[in-house]
Structure formats: C-alpha cells, structure tokens
Amino acid sequence: MRNALVTGSSGFIGYFVSLALLRAGWRVIGLDSLSDYYDVNLKLNRQSQLCEYAQFSVVNEKLETPQALMTLFKEHRPDVVIHLAAQAGVRHSIDDPRAYLNANLIGTFELLEAARAFPPEHMLLASSSSIFGANRQMPYKEADRVDTQMSFYAATKKATENMAHSYAHLYALPTTMFRFFTVYGPWGRPDMAYFKFTKAILNRAPIDVYNHGKMQRDFTYVDDLVRAIMGLIDVPPDPTSPVPGDSVSPVAPFRTVNIGNASPVSLMDFIAAIETACGQEAIKTFHPIQPGDVPATWADTTLLQTLVGKQHSTPVGEGLQHFVDWYRDFYKA
C-alpha cells in the first residue's frame, strides 16, 4: 500500500484529494491545523468523512510548528507528498500578511527540510494562478515570466516555487508545482465569491460585484482538478527527459504545471449561472476593482495534457449546479 502525506487535508481541495487517494487504495496521513480563517465546522465535517477510512490517519498541527513535520516524516516515511496547506485568500493577505508569512513561507520551509531528511519519491506542491500577476499575455503559459505579483498572497506562492526549486536542485527532490486556476465546487471555501453569491441570492441579499463585473476567470471544477493531480503523481519531472513544451528546470527535477479549465468565463456569466442554479436573480451592487485583484486569468493547459492525457472540463453551469445542490442540502437552505 502506497503512503501519501496530504497537507491541508481538511481543507476544500485537500479533502477531495485525500478522498481520491483513499478510494484508490492509498494510505493517507492528513495534516491540518483546523485554522479559524473560515468556519471550522466545515473542516471538521470534511475530516470526519475521511476518518471513516481505516487507512486514513490525521494530525491536527500547524505546518510551521518546529519539528512537527520532521517527526511526521520520520514516523511515516511518505512515498508521495501533496502539499496543499496554506493561508489562502488574496484580499485577506492585505489585512493579515503575517499569517501568510507563517503558513506559506515558514510552513513550506519546514516541509522542505523534512523532505530533505526523509526524501519522498515525488513532491507535489500547490502554487496559484495569482502568481502571473500583472501579466497581460494570455493564455498564461508555464514558461511566462512571473515577476509582477499583485498581492502578498501571490508573492508568497511565487516564493514557495523558488524555495522548492532550490531544494529540488540541491537535494535531488523530484518536485512538481501546480498552479491552480480558481477552483470551485461542493464543500468549497466560504470566502470564495461563488459561495458568498449563493448564500446571498438564496437569502435575497445583495451581492458585491467588483470591477463593475468586468472580470474573467478560468474557473476549474474541483473534480477536474483532482483528476489532474492524481495523474501527475506518477509523472515526476526529469531534466534529462523533457517532454514537448516542458517547463522542467535544466538544473533540477522541478516542473511547474497549470491546472485550469482553459476557457475563461466572464464574471457576469458566472453570476448568471449561479442565478439559474438558485432559481432566482441576484441583487447586484457594483464596485471598483479591489486592491490585489487581477481582471482576468486564463490557463494554457497544453503541458498538463501532454503529461497526463486529455482532461475533462466540467461546464461552469453544471459545476455550479452541483455546488448549489450541495449548499442547499448542507445548510438546509
């Protein structure tokens, strides 16, 4: 039985990745701090479902706690590490940057040090589409320069890519960084726009629409994302054997991979799909763009498909209907 460490296992994406691994017969060690950034009960609900599997074990601890990860690696010797734990949220990073410093930078450093001492077969670490920052050339490609981050959250994600590359080079740690593009779906994060919109629409409350609705996002349904991650587990980077269009480093077993829907959707169309799923129209309040936001994202997923094959892309209307159905059931709305 293969052994995986999933950090952030009680989070939105971590829960679905852990579930996929367990259903595929893996043993999973789930690490999560159960932070109160959003409703802890949602995280506890996810965690309780994972704990129904005999091959799942949970450690509730902060990434940045000294020696916590070193002890965990020494005890469990994971074959694969999927690092999803982070302080999330572009806007919150303006209000509380220290939380991002601690979780995203110090926490990832502790993970890399533990991997250095007890090397896994493959490290897969979450980055973000927000690292593309002020780039205007779209779709975003892995080879694009990423020097103009627009938020401290994005800056910490870029820094984790650099940190991971240095460890991959120095200690021959096969490392894949995946750049997520606006992931949504059931069991999602309450701070995300689609979650807030659904709650407001069902309660007949107004929703805040930024940049007067002139935004586009490459929305990625969570099941599509998880399939991509599962496919990448057994495709570690090798600088001596690049694939066409590869982003593999010339000096390290290190690769970046976009995971998105490869089809941007306008914010107003996204809201319309939520309105359809909810069966009622939103009351919209329009605002200027918020600090740290970018007006558009769009993933080039050519490399992902080269590595793991053609990917299924769930239509936004279908994905949002799944979310609204879950929301109504979970919150009895």
**Angular region, 187: left φ>0, alpha ψ -120 to 50, beta rest:** left
Sheet holding 80-83, edge to edge: 56-60, 27-32, 3-7, 80-83, 122-128, 175-180, 254-259
Is 96 strand, coil or helix? coil
279: left (phi over 0), alpha (psi -120 to 50) or beta: left
Could you give the percent of the chain with pLDDT greater than 70?
A: 100
C-alpha 148: how far from its chain's center?
20
State the catalytic residue, choosing from 153, 167, 194, 210.
Answer: 153
The DSSP 8-state label assigned to residue 281 in this structure reads -
Report the share of the chain in percent with pLDDT over 90.
95
Measure CA 324 to chain center.
Answer: 21
Contacts of 306 (CB under 8 A, 6+ apart): 243, 244, 245, 246
Supply the DSSP string of 118-175, one letter for each residue. S--SEEEEEEEGGGGTT--SSSB-TTS-----SSHHHHHHHHHHHHHHHHHHHH---E
Query: Which pLDDT score, from 0 to 100, does residue 102 have?
Result: 96
Q: Of 75, 237, 85, 72, which is closest to residue 157 (Cα–Cα)? A: 85
SS3 state at 183: strand
Residue 107: closest CA among 67, 155, 166: 67
Report the mean per-residue pLDDT for the chain: 96
Q: Answer whether residue 249 shows pLDDT above 90.
A: yes
Q: What is the mean pLDDT of residues 217-234?
A: 97
SS3 for 22? helix
pLDDT (tens digit per residue) in 92-101: 999 999 999 9
pLDDT tens digits, 134-172: 999 999 999 999 999 999 999 999 999 999 999 999 999
* pLDDT for residue 312: 87
Q: Across residues 49-53, what is the average pLDDT?
A: 98
In this prediction, residue 15 has a pLDDT band, given cuts at 50, 70 and 90, of very high
Closest among 103, 85, 131, 86 to 258, alpha carbons compared: 131
Contact 56, 22 (CB under 8 A): yes
What is the arithmetic mean of pLDDT over 177-187? 97
327 included as an active-site residue: no
